[in-house]
Amino acid sequence: MKKFVIITMLLLLLLSLILLASPIDVELLKEAQFYEKHDDGSVRCTLCPNRCWLPEGVTGLCRVRQNINGTLYSLVYNKPVSVNIDPIEKKPLYHFYPGSKILSLATVGCNLRCNFCQNWTISQSNPGEVRSYDATSEEIVELAKEYKCKSIAFTYTEPTVFYEYMVDIAKCAHENGIKTVWVTCGYINEEPLRQLIPYLDAANMDLKGYSEDFYSTYTTGTLEPVLRTIEICKEEGLYFEITNLVIPDANDDPEMISDMCVWLKETIGTEYPLHFSRFSPQFKLTNRPPTPVKTLEMAYDIAKEVGLKYVYIGNVVTASEDTFCPNCGKKIIDRYGYSIQEMHITDGKCDYCGHEIFGEFE
CB of 271 to ligand SF4, least distance (A): 25
**Which of 104, 203, 229 lies closest to 156 in space, CA to CA?**
104
Instruction: Report, in Å, the least distance between residue 286 CB and ligand SF4.
Output: 15
Residue 141 found at the interface with ligand SF4 (CB under 6 A): no
Burial code of 249-265, b = ≥16 C-beta within 10 A, e = fewer? ebbbeeebbbebbbebb
Give the x-and-dash track for 161-190 against ligand SF4 (CB under 6 A). Answer: x-----------------------x-----
Q: Does residue 157 bind ligand SF4 (CB under 6 A)?
A: yes
Report in angstroms how near the CB of residue 110 gets to ligand SF4 at its nearest: 3
Contact 180, 170 (CB under 8 A): yes
Q: How many other CB atoms are there within 10 angstroms of residue 290's CB atom? A: 14
Q: Does 117 bind ligand SF4 (CB under 6 A)?
A: yes
- 98 or 225: CB nearest ligand SF4: 225
Tell me which H or E stretch contains 260. helix 254-268
Q: Residue of minimal CB distance from ligand SF4? A: 60
State how beta strands 349-350 and 345-346 pair. antiparallel
Residue 326: which of 308, 342, 344, 348 has the closest Cα?
Answer: 308
237, with CB counted inside 10 A (0-12, 13-18, 19+), is exposed
Report the relative pairing of strands 82-87 and 71-74 from DSSP bridges: unpaired
Q: Minimum distance between the CB of residue 246 and ligand SF4, rounded to whole angstroms?
A: 14
Question: How many CB atoms are located within 10 Å of the residue 361 CB?
Answer: 16
Kindly state the smallest distance separating residue 185's Cβ from ligand SF4, in Å. 4
Bin 132: left if φ > 0, else alpha if -120 < ψ < 50, else beta. beta
Taking CB under 6 A as the binding criterion, the range among 115-123, 129-137, 296-304, 334-342 that sits at the site for ligand SF4 is 115-123
Select the residue interacting with ligand SF4 from 29, 61, 103, 202 (CB under 6 A). 61
Whether 159 and 322 have beta carbons less than 8 Å apart is answered as no
Given the complex with ligand SF4, which of 64 and 350 has the nearer CB atom? 64
Asked if residue 67 binds ligand SF4 (CB under 6 A), the reply is no
Q: How many whole angstroms separate alpha carbon 260 and alpha carbon 1?
A: 63
- Judged by CB under 6 A, which stretch of 41-49, 97-105, 228-236, 256-264 contacts ligand SF4? 41-49
When asked if residue 112 is in the footprint of ligand SF4 (CB under 6 A), the reply is yes
What is the rounded CA–CA span in Å between residue 70 and residue 56? 6
Q: How far is the CB of 213 from ligand SF4 (least distance, A)?
A: 17
Each residue 281-320 as x (binds ligand SF4 by CB under 6 A) or -, in order, gives ----------------------------------------
Binding residues for ligand SF4, total number by CB under 6 A = 23
Among the listed ranges 57-65, 233-241, 259-267, 301-309, the one in contact with ligand SF4 (CB under 6 A) is 57-65
Query: What's the rounded Cα separation, in Å, for the pair 314 and 317?
Result: 7
Calpha distance 362→319 (Å, rounded): 24
Task: Indicate which single residue of 29, 43, 48, 299 sits in contact with ligand SF4 (rule: CB under 6 A).
Answer: 48
Q: What is the DSSP letter of 168?
A: H
Residue 60 interacting with ligand SF4 (CB under 6 A):
yes
193 binds ligand SF4 (CB under 6 A): no
What number of residues does the chain have? 362
Binding site for ligand SF4 (CB under 6 A): 45, 47-48, 50-52, 60-62, 65, 110-114, 117, 119, 123, 157-158, 161, 185, 219
